[in-house]
């Protein structure tokens, strides 16, 4: 069989084939476009779930635990801040730890209003919570005490010894300042207790107390040389030297006048500080002294010679004997040679 080639018929065939090919391609593109657009259309109609990822542990700065402290929140911008600022519960004390359960967090989440989107909570069943804290360092306490004592004692010489903190030395994180508000010692020497006011970021915190040994150095009376028992102290026997009075007896002599004219009650070595208990005021009249006995009533004054039977101090009673009558009577010492008796 022989085929005949007809130019018009060939051109028509080619055109029809191309026409059908273009139709098929168009239908394919429309179908593909519809299939790709479907997921996007669905995502615009349905809001994704809010996911909250809990951390296994968290350090808390403030006194309250918020969701932002313990979790990462994946939520639309409109809801994000509401979730992050959600209060869960009170934080533990500074430096303390506690376990926070998922149940507690779920209960807090259920309190949120106007949240229609599904919330998914992920993470451990318990979160280890630790409250950040700081302590009062001894160097800082020593500086605070030194400034206070310098103001109270003016030009006195002092040194601060061992410091002891009373109570828990744990405070919230932040800018901490302390100041002495009062002390419990009248003389500010030896073991002294101080009350400190505390502020964190300029907000008042509970006051605390510390005790410290305060060494104070003052000039006191010393002996220049040895003094025997019964010696009447004179100015040339004494000198002034500095002594740590916080470790000295309370009755140490602070002024030379406290000792001059007194009588030493015991043997004293050189370079020894004097105490009032080592001294006594010598009697104005000694036993065996001859005295004048006087008696009067304002209109009449009589006198007689007498003999002291005991030592007597100024204005103190003393026993004397009237030399003429040999009678013993009680009188009051007036001066070194006179005894007054009642008329």
CB-CB neighbours of 99 under 10 Å: 10
CB 67 within 8 A of CB 108: yes
Distance, in Å, from the CA atom of 84 to the CA atom of 70, rounded to the nearest integer, reads 10
CATH 3.30.479.30 fits 217-280, yes or no: no
Percent of the chain with pLDDT over 70: 86
CA distances from 90 to 70, 83, 97, 113, 129 (A): 13, 17, 12, 21, 11
Homologous superfamily in CATH for domain 50-131: eubacterium ventriosum atcc domain (2.60.480.10)
Does residue 282 have a pLDDT over 50?
yes
The string of pLDDT tens digits covering residues 231-247 is 999 999 999 999 999 98
- Domain boundaries, given as residue ranges, for the chain: 50-131, 138-216, 217-280, 290-340
Query: Identical fold at 217-280 and 290-340?
Result: no
pLDDT at position 26, please? 56
CA distances from 334 to 56, 112, 280 (A): 93, 97, 19
Q: What is the mean pLDDT of the chain?
A: 86
Lowest mean pLDDT among 48-52, 116-120, 144-148, 258-262: 116-120
Tokens 């009680």, located at residue: 330
Alpha helix (H) ranges present in 77-226?
77-84, 102-109, 138-153
List, for residues 167-221, the tens digit of each pLDDT value.
889 999 999 999 999 998 888 999 999 999 999 999 999 999 999 999 999 999 9
Pairing, β 119-122 against β 50-54: parallel
Q: Name the band, by pLDDT with cuts 50, 70 and 90, for residue 29.
A: very low
Confidence band, pLDDT 50/70/90 cuts, at residue 301:
confident
Q: Band the pLDDT of 21: cuts 50, 70, 90.
A: low
Q: Please report the pLDDT score of residue 97 as a whole number.
A: 96
On whether the CB atoms of residues 262 and 232 are closer than 8 A, the answer is: yes
- pLDDT at residue number 44: 45
Residue 331 to residue 113: CA distance in whole angstroms: 101
Which DSSP state fits 64?
E
What integer pLDDT is reported at residue 79 of this predicted model? Answer: 76
The answer to pTM > 0.75 is no
Count the Cβ atoms, other than its own, within 10 Å of residue 191: 14
pLDDT of residue 111: 86
Whether CATH 1.10.1040.10 fits 290-340: no
């Amino acid at each position: 069989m022989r085929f005949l080639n007809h130019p018009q018929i060939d051109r028509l065939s080619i055109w029809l084939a191309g026409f059908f090919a273009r139709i098929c391609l168009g239908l394919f593109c429309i179908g593909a476009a519809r299939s790709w657009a479907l997921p996007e259309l669905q995502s615009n109609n349905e809001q994704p779930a809010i996911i909250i990822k809990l951390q296994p542990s968290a350090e808390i700065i403030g006194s309250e635990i918020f969701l932002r402290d313990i979790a990462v929140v994946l939520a639309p911008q409109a809801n994000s801040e509401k979730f992050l600022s959600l209060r869960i519960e009170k934080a533990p004390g500074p430096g303390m730890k506690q376990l926070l359960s998922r149940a507690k967090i779920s209960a807090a989440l259920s309190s949120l209003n106007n949240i229609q989107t599904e919330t998914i909570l992920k993470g451990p069943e318990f979160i280890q919570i630790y409250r950040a804290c700081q302590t009062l360092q001894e160097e800082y306490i020593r500086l605070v005490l030194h400034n206070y004592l310098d103001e109270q004692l003016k030009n006195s010489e002092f040194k601060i010894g061992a410091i002891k903190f009373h109570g828990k030395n744990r405070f919230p994180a932040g800018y901490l300042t302390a100041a002495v508000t009062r002390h419990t010692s009248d003389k500010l020497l030896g073991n002294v207790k101080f009350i400190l006011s505390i502020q964190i970021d300029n907000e008042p915190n509970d006051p605390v107390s510390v005790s410290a040994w305060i060494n104070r150095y003052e000039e006191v009376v010393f002996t220049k040389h040895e003094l025997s028992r019964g010696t009447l102290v004179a100015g040339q026997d004494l000198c002034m030297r500095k002594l740590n009075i916080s470790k000295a007896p309370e009755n140490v002599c602070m002024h030379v006048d406290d000792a001059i004219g007194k009588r030493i009650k015991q043997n004293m070595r050189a370079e020894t500080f004097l105490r009032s208990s080592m001294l006594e005021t010598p009697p104005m009249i000694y036993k065996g002294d001859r005295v004048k006995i006087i008696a009067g009533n304002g209109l009449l004054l009589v006198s007689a010679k007498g003999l002291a039977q005991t030592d007597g101090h100024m204005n103190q009673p003393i026993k004397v004997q009237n030399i003429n009558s040999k009678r013993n009577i009680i009188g009051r010492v007036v001066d070194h040679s006179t005894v007054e008796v009642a008329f």
